[in-house]
Amino acid sequence: MNRLLTIITECTEYSDDLHLHPQMDSSTMKPMAELAVQILLLGICIIVVADLALRFPGPSRFTGFLLPPQERWPVPQLWKWVEDGKPSPGFIKFFMRDPERSIPDGTGLISPVDGTVLAKLRQSGRNYLVISLSVWDVHVARCPCSAVVERIVEHGDMLEPERNDPLRNEAFYFLRDKASPKQRFLELSTDNGLMRVRFITSYLSRRIEFFVDVGEQLEKGQRIGRMLFGSTCVVETDEEFEFAVAVGERLVAGESEIGKGS
């Protein structure tokens, strides 16, 4: 009993001492709190550096969202994903974006895709506008003008076998870096004559899909299809139609005018 009373008395005296001298407790706790924060920050730094090393050449997942798309997903990393068949969900969400566009009024033809004008060619009574898309462009295509779908042609894994297909000619140099190109095109009846919108992809991408059917009436700016990854779009018109854009010019699908229609 006496022992118990002694313990209680000692505890009471210690409690009173803490109240009388609170600086003793705070001076002990402050260095410990600072050490804990330092350890936490060091741990975060180690995790970020390790993630950056494991994801090289891509950026760390902790900082990538701060970078523009070209730096967030470097080209070597993109092609590795394509070859492995395991692309990043974040990049797929970005690539599959499909923003609304402000379709201009009037009869002018609009660009079917986002991209850069690679070439303007004329051959065998036909004009060709070649537009190159990068992997960071929107890949949803739109109809250049009001039209009716006459044919959907699948070229498979080679160029058109017919000898009179001008795309077999060496002048069409934009095909030279596309091993075994896969092609599909829409043949359209328009107020500006027969028009073809041709989609071309390389062997790495290969997938082309159309959203329209033969016989369907299309509105200007209507979504007509999609290509996957870096691709080329060729707009083919009658010789009388003049494309009013320059080589190297940037185009926006559904908004940039590429020529005056009738």
Tens digits of residue pLDDT in 190-212 = 998 999 998 887 655 557 889 99
Which member of 180, 231, 256, 262 is catalytic?
A: 231
In a domain, 96, yes or no: no
- State whether 211 and 145 are in the same domain: yes
pLDDT confidence of residue 26: 57
- State whether 250 and 158 are in the same domain: yes
Rounded to an integer, what distance in angstroms lies between the CA atom of residue 249 and that of residue 103? 19
- State whether 222 and 118 are in the same domain: yes
In a domain, 224, yes or no: yes
pLDDT confidence of residue 245: 96
In a domain, 24, yes or no: yes
Question: CATH number, domain at 178?
Answer: 2.70.70
Number of structural domains, the chain? 2
Rounded to an integer, what distance in angstroms lies between the CA atom of residue 140 and that of residue 212? 13
Rounded to an integer, what distance in angstroms lies between the CA atom of residue 193 and that of residue 108? 14
In a domain, 98, yes or no: no
- State whether 136 and 224 are in the same domain: yes
- State whether 134 and 40 are in the same domain: no
Give the domain-ending residue among 56, 71, 93: 56
pLDDT confidence of residue 177: 47
- State whether 114 and 46 are in the same domain: no
User: Domain containing 15: what range?
Assistant: 2-56
Rounded to an integer, what distance in angstroms lies between the CA atom of residue 136 and that of residue 127? 27
In a domain, 71, yes or no: no
- State whether 149 and 249 are in the same domain: yes
pLDDT confidence of residue 206: 54
231 has catalytic annotation: yes
- State whether 10 and 131 are in the same domain: no
Q: Report angle CA 198, 199, 204 to the nearest 5 degrees.
A: 155
Integer angstrom CA distances of residue 241 from 53, 55, 193, 201, 244:
54, 49, 9, 26, 9
Q: C-alpha 34: how far from its chain's center?
A: 44
- State whether 20 and 131 are in the same domain: no
Residue 126: both structure tokens together: 């036909």
Residue ranges in the chain whose pLDDT is less than 50: 1-5, 7-8, 10-11, 13-15, 17-24, 158-163, 170-171, 173, 177, 179
Rounded to an integer, what distance in angstroms lies between the CA atom of residue 182 and that of residue 208? 8
Rounded to an integer, what distance in angstroms lies between the CA atom of residue 171 and that of residue 153? 22
For residue 249, with 0-12 CB atoms within 10 Å meaning exposed, 13-18 middle and 19 or more buried, which class applies? middle
pLDDT confidence of residue 57: 61
- State whether 46 and 138 are in the same domain: no
pLDDT confidence of residue 49: 79
pLDDT tens track for 161-199: 444 555 555 445 455 545 456 778 899 999 989 999 988
Closest CA to 202 of 184, 224, 175: 175
